[in-house]
Amino acid sequence: MRNRGAAAATLEHVHRTATPAGYFDDALARHPNPPATVLRAIRSGDPQLSTGQDIWLAENPALPRDLLERIALSSTDIHVVRALLRRPSLDCALLRDIATGALMSRAPDAELAAQFGGDAAPTVPVSGAQEAPQTIARMRVANGSAPPARAEREAIG
């Protein structure tokens, strides 16, 4: 797994033949060349392991867009959100998915909610479209990707 240039077929073989099953999943989630089928199999595995693997998957440049969106919509972990926000391919649609998943869920991670000024247990779901500018501004400030003045302008509209 340390060979960053390993072929996708080799990585798929390692995933398929690992004993015990899933033994190399963490390393494969971090590797830049696994095929989409391997990444999908890792993401569909044990939910207990998904937070750590979601961080590595979120950082993986080979992650297919549908998995990226699924992680963005489902994760409330601050480290996963930060990894998603650092992606060079971050666009408005993905940012909206991150905001919806992290801040608009019924029970977000308390650390994440505190980081972005949200409530740890909102009683009424908020539409991502209504709150998007303010949410995006708070997330960009918290991530350090925008100076506060710019984020404040975005929040105002």
Beta-carbon neighbour count of residue 11 at 10 Å? Answer: 23
Q: Mind listing the pLDDT tens digit of every residue in the chain (157 residues)?
A: 678 899 999 999 999 898 887 888 889 999 999 999 999 988 886 655 567 788 999 999 999 999 999 998 888 788 988 999 999 888 898 888 888 876 665 444 566 566 665 554 443 344 444 455 555 556 555 555 555 555 555 555 5
What are the residue boundaries of the structural domains of the chain, listed by start? 1-63, 88-157
Q: What is the DSSP letter of 84?
A: H
CA distances from 142 to 22, 74, 135, 139 (A): 34, 20, 11, 5
104: left (phi over 0), alpha (psi -120 to 50) or beta: alpha
**pTM of model > 0.85:** no
Cβ neighbour number for residue 48 with a 10 Å cutoff = 7
Cβ pair 55, 80 in contact under 8 A: yes
